[in-house]
Amino acid sequence: MFLQTTLMHTVKLEHNDDEVLDPADPQLVVRGSLFIDGHDAGCWEQRRDGTWAAHVRHKEGWIVEASRGALIDRLAREA
């Protein structure tokens, strides 16, 4: 019998200064830096449609979830 353990990573969504937002992009509410296990790992953003998204540097595309908590949970499992 094998037991599968899941390593959960520590995820922090750090808020950047609002001045980094592009006023020409109407989709964004907030954006910031993404830290996984204390290392700068990419960026995140909250969108006006209510979704939260993260781009992890070593992966292609964006990870999109319906809430902040769901995004953090997914990143903690999959990072």
Q: Over the stretch 33-53, which tens digit does the pLDDT of each residue have?
A: 999 999 999 999 999 899 999
Whole-angstrom Cα distance, residue 64 to residue 27? 14
Whole-angstrom Cα distance, residue 17 to residue 8? 28
**Does residue 6 lie within any of the structural domains?**
no
**Does residue 2 lie within any of the structural domains?**
no
User: Cα torsion for 72, 53, 44, 4, to the nearest 10°?
Assistant: 30
Count up the domains in the chain and report the number.
1
Residue 79 pLDDT: 76
Confidence label for 77 from pLDDT (cuts 50, 70 and 90): very high
Whole-angstrom Cα distance, residue 49 to residue 40? 26
Residue 57 near residue 37 (C-beta atoms within 8 A): no
**Does residue 30 lie within any of the structural domains?**
yes
- Output phi, psi for 16, to 5 deg: -90, 165
**Does residue 67 lie within any of the structural domains?**
yes
Global pTM reads 0.81
